[in-house]
Structures are given as C-alpha cells and as structure tokens.
Structure 1
Amino acid sequence: MGGKNSTPEPRTQIKYVPDPSASARVAQLEAKVEKLSSKRPKVEYVKEYVRDPELLRQIEEYQARNRELMEKYDELYQEIRDNNINSFDDLDEHYSKGAEALKRMAAATQPMQMTGVNFALFGITSSGKSTMLNQFLGKQVAATGAGETTTQVQRYDGNGFSLYDIPGKNDEISYFTMEYVAFWKALTARLVLITATVKEMTSVFRLLDAINLKYDIVVNKFDQHQEDERDVLKAQIHAEIKQIGLMGVENVWFISSKFPQMFDDWLQMVHSLTERPHKSNNMTRRNQIETKSNTSFFPQHRARSATSNLVQDQFAAQLHQLQSMGFDDENKNRRLLTKHNGDISSTINSLLNSNHHY
C-alpha cells in the first residue's frame, strides 16, 4: 500500500508580553532595594561629622527616643538628595513640598538634652571662627590660618560654658537632619560669622528662620576695612538683612576677633551671650508655641557667672603678661583690662600711675 506522508502542522508560537505596569513595579522595587543597600548606617553617618564622645552619646540617646521622627527625616533627606538639592534656598525654590515638610518636622523636634551654657559658631572657611574661639577661651585651642577648615563639629570647654565650631559645608543638606535641628534648638546662642556680606550665609539664615530659631550675626574682620568704609559696611549689612527679610536676627556685632579691643562690640557681645533670656533655649515665640516646650535654661546667677568666666578667659593672655611684668594684683589688672577693652598698653599706663581712679 502506498500511503501519503502527512506533514505535521506547525505549532502556534506563544510570545510572552510582560505587563507594563508589572515591569514598572519590578523596576521600582529593584531601585528601592538598591537605594536601601547603598544607604549608610545612621550612626556611621553621624560619626563622620561628630567626633566628640559626649555629643555623640547625646545624639545616639536622642535617636533611640525619636526613631519614628528620625525615619521621616531620613525619607525626606533621601528625596532631597535624589532631586540634587544642595541648599535650603534650592529646596524652597524647587521642592516647596519638601521645604514645608522640613518645617513641620522641625517644629515637632524637641531640643536635645544638653547641660550647661552652650554656644555655636557657624561660618564659611576663612571667616575667622578659630581665631574667635581662641579669643573666647583665652588660649590657642583651634588651629588658625590659611587652609584650616573645620570638617567636624568640635567642642571646646571654657570655664562654665562650651563652644561648638560647626563645619561650613559645601553640601548644606547635611543640616536637614533631626540630629542637627535638635542640637541647634538646644543651644544657648547661635553665632553666624560673615566678613563682607550677609549673602555669604543667606541659605543658613533662611534655614534657621524656617525652623524658627534666633541667631546673632557677627561681622568679623572689621579691622580689615578702612575707617571711612566701616559706616558704609554697617549700613549695607543692615540693608541686606531688611532686603532678604531675615526674621531671627537678635543682634548684629561688628568685631575683630584678632584684635578684640579695637571695637566696643566685642565686650558687648560677650556680655550679651549669657545675659539674654534663656527661655526655651532662645527659640522664637512661634517655635515655643509649636513645640509646647517647657524647657527653661539656667538661672540668671548661672548666666552671670558664665559671663564673668568668658571675660576672665578672654583676658587670660593679658593677665599672664601683666603678672610676668610684676603687676600681681589680678583683680585690679582685670578691672583695668575691662575698662580699656583689653588694651594692654593703656592698662599698663594706668597701673604705672599710682594716683589713677577707676
């Protein structure tokens, strides 16, 4: 029998076409996993900027008490990084939703529990922060000169007070963290150093305004301006404050940290730091209402003591010099140094005049 060979029919090819929405979900999950795997541990990140053991301990305790709020900060922080935002000005202009979220979280952030009288200095490189620290403490504790840049929060202890040197950051979003906001709120005073224009630190001023904190503007290196230019600079600084609309300015000081006796503002600033009211860590009225904080700072007699210690430490070098010259009455020396704004020559002339009155 001669039968025909039958050719099998070709099989129908089934092509898998992925669901676009499912692919998008997978891509989102993969991106999230990659982001989480690349995220540094919080403690490691904090240690990059804080090396002081006591402050680090306070931060870690604060983190443990406020984990839920910290997670919200971290989510916002990551969103800000993803949007290539590098300052509060950028945040406010290009991501207003994030700026509002930061303000709400800052209002809910309680001050860190710090003891004693605490001041912090903010400023860009070469603004004279280290020289100012040394003058406050009356000794050389912070390196000065070209190339000296603060990269970590540094604490320096005086007699009854602590001074913190805050890094001047190129990447300001490092300030947008729960830890920094809580630290700022706990400070007795915040001193922001500039040398020629408010615009040097505009973004920091606006951030402090956004979280409703007061601050002093310190125009340092005032001695480097010619005498006939100084009144012009003063007018310019005050005009810029008004033009930019800064809200938290408590004082504006015009000083030379290298030659503190040159300008009266130096001693006035020293006394102001501890004589001002310390309710709610010097926060603005709006912030006091929002946080409902009952925190009060140290009694006034403690504040006066800290002021005296600041002045004493400030004149330590001059007192030592006078003692080495045979002027042994320390109280008398200090009174005359205060009278002459720390000027050693005028003080010596007064000491040599046996009939002087003060």
Structure 2
Amino acid sequence: MLAPGFEAVGEAFAADPRGGSALTVLHHGRPVVDLHEGWRDSARTIPWDEHTLVNVYSVGKPVMAAAVMQLVQRGQVSLPAPTAAYWPSFKTTASVRDLLSHLAALPSFPVARPVEAWSDWDLLCTDLAEATAEWEPGTVAAEHALTYGHLLGELVRRVDGRPPARFVAEEIAAPFDLDLAFALSDEDIARCAELEFDAPDWPARMLGAPDSVHARAVSNPPGARDLAVVNSPLWRRAAVPAVNIHATSMAIARFYAAILDGRLPDLAVPQHTGTDLFLESEVTWGLGVQIEPDGTWGQGGLGGNAGWADPTRDLAIAYVTRRLGDFTTVDRIEEALKKAEPKTANF
C-alpha cells in the first residue's frame, strides 16, 4: 500500500529492485507505505510476501537493548551497576550502561572458535565473561558487531531466567505483534529469504583493514558474512541476536512505533559521542541506537538493512533486503521521506 503524500517514497523504493526487499513506513503507528518486491529465493521461484523473514543483521540489536531496558524499567537491573552484579563470572568492570552503548571494550570474541560455536551459547558467553577488556570500559565506543547480543542476552538470562530468544518472543514479539525472532523454529526457517551478495567481492569490501577493530570484530567465529553459513539451518537455529534476528519490515517498523508511543522503553537517550573504532566515524550512541544530528535515530544493518524513527513527524521506518550491498536505497528513501506530506485526515 502507498498512501497519498508518499508517492515519492514508493518511487525511491522501486528505483533499484534488489530481487527481494520490503519497505514499511508507519505514521502515528499506521501504515502509509508497505511495499515489497522480488523473490524469497536466489532461484527466483518463490515470490516475496508479507510473511517473508529476512536476516536483518544489526537492525536487530535495538531489540535486545529494549529487552534489557524492560528489566531496567521493572527495577530488576540498574544501568550504572557493574555487569558482574548480575553475571558474577564476568571479569571486566563494564557496567550495564556500557554494554548497552557499545562501550564495554569487548568488540570481539576473545577465543578463536569454529563456525559451529554459533550453536553453543554457553561457550561464547563464557569466553566473553573471562575476557580482558581491550581498553578501559566506558571510555571509547566501538560497535560490538557480533558480541552485543551475547552480552545483553546473557544479562537477560541471568536476571530473568529465560533464554534471550524466549524473552524476546514473550515480552516483545508477542505483545506488540512483531514478526521477528532468532533461534528460529523449523516453521519460521521455511519462511526465510535466502541472502545473496550484490557482487562476488562484497565480503572483502566489508571486512575492513587487516588487524583493525572492524576486521577482528567480524571474523570470529567465522561465517557471519558467508552465504553457506547464514543461509544454513545452523545459523538460523542459533541464537546470535546481535546479527541474526530475522524479521519482516512491518515488524521492525512496529518496533520503532512502540518506542515512539511509549509502549516500549525509550532507547534514544544519548550516552556517548565520539569516534567509534568499529565504524571509524563520529557517532552518538544511545541505548543501542545511533542518534543523528537531525533528531532521527535507529540502527542500520549489514548489507543495506535499516530501521529508524523520525520523532518530529512520528514516523517509524524499516527497509529490509536479502541482497547484501550498500545503503544507496536507504539513502534515497530517506531523501524522499523528507519531502513526504502525510495526509493525516485520510487515516
């Protein structure tokens, strides 16, 4: 669907078909744009539909942040408290706030592990608990590309008792009608889109300089940028909430709408501004989201996925794709949204 006033947004979405993608825009929580195109599979035999799930990579990180913030709201967790107060074997001084804001100084899993380790939650969490911080926690930001979900998810498990996938399913997905999950069931795996690269050299282009924080952070365990892994049952059944939440665009947009209207905790609370060593750019981190100078906030995901909110216009936006490339389409959609004129009388 495409509501009057958003025609340019529809044109921006259609300008570069990805062979499988979707865009949802909610205004005051109601859909004004809900479009999809292409196919679910690389052979282009199964059309993409509103029930297609796709791996949205880091777009899922704020979902884990919201889970922790629910525990904060309930008085079960304190942001300034050391993580070790809830996770006794955790050795660094990083606080809960540090974990949420990519300030924990644990951007990489510290022990080299094989791809099969993605299925071993306890092993990877033990590695993080016993790790030495790469610098003083709370001082320098570096997006915790692969470790973020294990750090927050294990905190949730230690406090609440439920595994993070179950907590998200019962406390976020079900209550807010969000079609998103990780550690997928066979039924959900059957709805997943197959990822593909926009060019054969895409993994190398995205790796970063050798021995950089970026390169180290995304390389262990291997497989997060390997199609044979991310399209496999091993990956889809695993709990890697930093990068393997699978979702529809409607689910991500509804997630942001629930934050905007106060049903989910506010994440757009500035915590740190400075050069992010992983992103190698100036960033203002909130509680699991990036806050932009224009007041919009959200989180991009590897390959061109994105979810964000425009609070001044009460817009919640999500773009998801199975073809991993760059953010050209998202940038074009953003520009079109600036010109959109919601005709609220029609809703």
Higher strand share: 2
TM range (shorter): under 0.3
Q: TM-score, normalised by structure 2?
A: 0.24
Q: Which has the higher helix share?
A: 1
Higher relative contact order (CA 8 A, sep 6+): 2
Calculate the TM-score normalised by the size of structure 1.
Answer: 0.24
Q: Which has the larger radius of gyration?
A: 1
